[in-house]
Amino acid sequence: MDRIRTLSTTGSAVLLALVCSVGASQAVQLAADGTSDVSDVARKPEVVIHDAPTSLTLREDGRVRVKASPPAAPGDPVVLNTAGSYNAGYVRVDETVLDENLTATLKVPGRKYLGSYNYWASVPGSADYQEGSSGSFPIEIVSPAPQDRPACGGVTPVKADGTPWVCTFSDEFNGPELDRRYWVPQESFTTGTKIKYACALDSPSTIDVQNGNLLLSLVDLGESRDCGKNRSSQFAFGQVMHYQTYAQTYGKYVVRAKVPDLRVPGSQQSFWLWPESNTYGPWPASGEIDFAELYSSNPGIDKPYLHYLPGDSPDGTNENRTHTECPIKVGEYNTYGVIWEPGTITILLNGRVCMVNDYSSVVAGEESTAPFDHPFYLSLNQAMGNLGNEYDADLVPDVLTTQIDYVRVWR
């Protein structure tokens, strides 16, 4: 007891008592007279979200307004964060500074995929205070609303029962640029062979809109570029699709397009419908409708394909139903279409029937109209030739462009 009394009269005991009273986490500063002052470094500014969207359309940017409190000061940085991949760690998506009212507006960059994403704002710590953060808040990324009163030009087509088809999507490509609310450029795919291939590229050189046409090109860039996934190539191609933006079950699709007048191997164009989800399993179990496949190794011919597991396939292998005698007008615009109905897919070329397939498959041991009974989306490309149609730089021009005049969809 006497020893404790002795220590209490020393400056060390005063410091020890102060540390215990304010908590070890707080910084303590001794004045010259032996008194102490708790530094502002132990304090945190409060960060409050005042305005934030609850949802944003795919690829749409948003804005978040935040308000901070002292000890934060005007000019101090404020950042917007989101969870990293698989919710591991965090990613800083925008940064600005606080104004004289300690408020700021931060940008939420558009997302490429649907889903719910968590965000939070923070004022980083400084020499004067610790970091302060807002609570986490979610933003749901949703598909764009369907087109408002789309107008499919020309004469309204009529169904077999005499009722008119109803236009559900149309793009005449008359604007100054691609409508990215609905068209999503492919950026992570390759076409060609394992030895020579082109990488998908979102660039005016591969995807452009001019003079009422969507231009999709295969180009020789002259030098190699990183394609991602540990691949690189000097060749690039353009592909756009309705991935996560628009899909429907059944209907009529028509694409009017002019493909390059190339009569040597190396080029391929495809217009096809792809399942919105793998409802019945991975490809080909969930289906694929290639209503136009064109190969420069066999110019003048459209080769439509259907991919699925047909009911008459005892081993469950993929069966490609194809018709190779659908001639096109070489070097001119042609219309490529499909009428997709329950149990029947009819491929059209220039308004005439090219192929009819009464599809069926076995699901849970019973005959079914699966897999073509759930939503599919549309995809278009100008690709590099594959096996049997290999690209040869000595024969193929540096730029090959498919011109698409319009896309029209009915239900």
Which residues of the chain form CATH 2.60.120.200? 167-410
Among residues 385, 172, 388, 353, the alpha carbon closest in space to that of 269 is found at 385
| pLDDT above 50 (res 356) | yes
Distance CA 74, CA 55 (A): 30
294 contact partners, CB below 8 Å, separation of at least 6: 259, 268, 269, 270, 301, 302, 303, 328
Supply the pTM of this predicted model: 0.85
Q: Cis before residue 150, ω within 30 degrees of 0?
A: no
Residue 366 — left, alpha, or beta (φ > 0 → left; ψ -120 to 50 → alpha)? beta
Q: List, as own/partner pairs, every contact residues 337-341 make where C-beta atoms lie below 8 angstroms and the sequence separation is at least 24, other chains included.
A: 337/252, 337/253, 337/254, 337/255, 337/291, 338/252, 338/253, 338/273, 338/289, 338/291, 338/304, 339/251, 339/252, 340/250, 340/251, 340/252, 340/253, 340/273, 340/289, 340/372, 340/376, 341/250
Distance CA 296, CA 310 (A): 30
Query: CA–CA distance from 222 to each of 233, 235, 398 (Å)?
Result: 10, 8, 9
What is the pLDDT, as a whole number, of residue 362?
Answer: 59
Q: Give the right CATH number for 47-142 from 3.40.50.620, 2.60.40.10, 3.40.50.10300, 3.30.310.220.
A: 2.60.40.10
Q: Which CATH number applies to 167-410?
A: 2.60.120.200
Among residues 252, 177, 235, 237, the alpha carbon closest in space to that of 380 is found at 237
Which residues of the chain form CATH 2.60.40.10? 47-142
pLDDT band at residue 328 using 50, 70 and 90 as cut-offs: very high
What is the pLDDT, as a whole number, of residue 30?
Answer: 38
| Mean pLDDT of the 225-245 span | 95
Given the structure tokens 């925008």, which residue do they identify?
A: 94
Distance CA 385, CA 268 (A): 5
Distance CA 90, CA 66 (A): 19
| Mean pLDDT of the 265-283 span | 95
Q: In this predicted model, what pLDDT tens digit does every residue of 91-149 receive, in sequence order?
A: 999 999 999 999 999 999 999 999 999 999 999 999 999 999 999 999 999 999 999 99
Q: Number of helices (H) and strands (E), helices first, in the chain?
A: 2, 32
Distance CA 313, CA 223 (A): 46
Q: What element of type H or E holds 8? A: helix 2-8
